[in-house]
Amino acid sequence: MNHAQPKKVLVAVAWPYAQGSLHLGHMAGAYLPSDIFARFRRSVGDDVLMVSGSDIHGTPITVKADDLGWTPQELVDKYHPEFLTYWKDLDIDWDLFTSTGTDTHKAVVQDFFLTLLENGHLYRDTSEQYFDETAERFLPDRYVEGTCPHCGYVDARGDQCDNCGRTLDPVDLINPRSKLSGATPVMRETEHFYWKLSAFNEPMAEWLSSLKGWRRHVVNFAVGMVDDGLHDRAFTRDLTWGVPLPVDDLGDGKSIYVWWEALMGYVSAAQEWSQIQGRPDAWKQWWHDPDAETYYFIGKDNIPFHAVYWPALIMGHGGLNLPTDVPANQYVTFGGQKASKSRGVGRPLGWYLDRFESDALRYALARSFPESNDTDLTDVEIARRINEELVATWGNLVNRVVSMTNRYFDGVVPEPGPLTDADQVILAGRGETLNDVSDLIYSVKLRSGIARAMEGASEANAYLSDMVPWSTAKTDMERTGTTLWVALQLIASNAIALWPYLPDTSSRVLSALGAPEFDRAPEWESPDVISGTKLADLGPLFAKVDLDTLT
RNA sequence: GGCGGCGUAGCUCAGCCGGUAAGAGCGCUCGACUCAUAAUCGAGAGGUCGGCAGUUCAAGUCUGCCCGCCGCUACCA
In this predicted structure, the answer to whether residue A344 has a pLDDT above a threshold of 60 is no
Query: Last residue of some domain: A195, A220, A238?
Result: A195
Judge if A474 and A543 occupy the same domain: yes
Q: What is the pLDDT of residue A491?
A: 97
Distance A307 CA to B53 C1' (A): 38
> Looking at residue A451, which CATH number applies to its domain?
1.10.730.10
In this predicted structure, the answer to whether residue A248 has a pLDDT above a threshold of 90 is no
Judge if A347 and A407 occupy the same domain: no
**pLDDT tens, residue by residue, A226-247:** 887 888 888 998 888 999 999 9
Q: Is A21 a domain residue?
A: yes
| Domain range for A177 | 122-195
Distance A309 CA to B25 C1' (A): 39
Range in A134-138, A185-189, A411-415, A473-477 the model is least confident about: A134-138
> What residue is closest to B25 (Cα–C1')?
A389
Range in A108-112, A217-221, A481-485 the model is least confident about: A217-221
Q: Is A235 a domain residue?
A: no
Q: Is A237 a domain residue?
A: no
Judge if A150 and A77 occupy the same domain: no
Nucleotide nearest to A160 (CA to C1'): B73
- SS3 track for A413-461: CCCCCCCCHHHHHHHHHHHHHHHHHHHHHHCCCHHHHHHHHHHHHHHHH
Q: What is the pLDDT of residue A337?
A: 60
Judge if A185 and A57 occupy the same domain: no
CA nearest to A332, candidates A312, A349, A320:
A349
Judge if A453 and A339 occupy the same domain: no
Judge if A335 and A188 occupy the same domain: no
Q: What is the pLDDT of residue A164?
A: 62
Distance A20 CA to B73 C1' (A): 24
Number of domains in chain A: 3
* Predicted ipTM of the assembly: 0.88
Judge if A539 and A428 occupy the same domain: yes
Confidence class of residue A2 from pLDDT cuts 50, 70 and 90?
very low
Average pLDDT of chain A is 89
Judge if A163 and A113 occupy the same domain: no
Q: Is A42 a domain residue?
A: yes
Confidence class of residue A345 from pLDDT cuts 50, 70 and 90?
low
**pLDDT tens, residue by residue, A121-175:** 999 998 888 888 888 888 887 788 888 777 777 777 777 666 666 667 778 788 8
Distance A299 CA to B18 C1' (A): 32
Q: Which nucleotides in chain B have some atom under 7 angstroms from a protein Cβ?
A: 1, 3-7, 11-15, 24-27, 32-37, 39-42, 69-77
Q: What is the pLDDT of residue A500?
A: 96
* Residue with more model confidence, A537 or A10: A10
Provide the H-helix boundaries in A185-308: 201-209, 216-228, 258-263, 265-277, 284-287, 303
Distance A10 CA to B29 C1' (A): 51
Nucleotide nearest to A378 (CA to C1'): B12
| CB-CB contact of A44 with A438 (8 Å) | yes
How far is CA A257 from its chain centroid? 23
Q: Is A220 a domain residue?
A: no
Confidence class of residue A352 from pLDDT cuts 50, 70 and 90?
confident
Judge if A174 and A39 occupy the same domain: no
Distance A306 CA to B58 C1' (A): 41
Judge if A309 and A439 occupy the same domain: no
Nucleotide nearest to A331 (CA to C1'): B71
Nucleotide nearest to A465 (CA to C1'): B41
Mean pLDDT, to the nearest integer, of A259-265?
A: 93
**pLDDT tens, residue by residue, A52-102:** 999 999 888 888 888 889 999 999 999 999 999 999 999 999 999 999 999
Query: Last residue of some domain: A180, A195, A210?
Result: A195
In this predicted structure, the answer to whether residue A3 has a pLDDT above a threshold of 70 is no
> Looking at residue A177, which CATH number applies to its domain?
2.170.220.10
Q: What is the pLDDT of residue A322?
A: 93
**pLDDT tens, residue by residue, A377-398:** 888 888 889 998 999 999 999 9
**pLDDT tens, residue by residue, A295-314:** 999 888 888 899 999 999 99
Q: Quick one: residue A122, left, alpha or beta (phi over 0 = left, psi -120 to 50 = alpha)?
A: beta
Q: Is A449 a domain residue?
A: yes
**pLDDT tens, residue by residue, A406-457:** 999 999 999 999 999 999 999 999 999 999 999 889 988 898 899 999 999 9
Judge if A17 and A136 occupy the same domain: no
Instruction: Determine what percent of chain A is predicted with pLDDT higher than 70.
Output: 95
Q: Is A129 a domain residue?
A: yes
Nucleotide nearest to A407 (CA to C1'): B35
Q: Is A55 a domain residue?
A: yes
> Looking at residue A327, which CATH number applies to its domain?
3.40.50.620
Judge if A349 and A391 occupy the same domain: no
Nucleotide nearest to A15 (CA to C1'): B77
Beta bridge partners of A345: A340
Distance A298 CA to B26 C1' (A): 29
Query: Last residue of some domain: A141, A167, A195?
Result: A195
Cβ atoms within 10 Å of A113's Cβ, excluding its own: 24
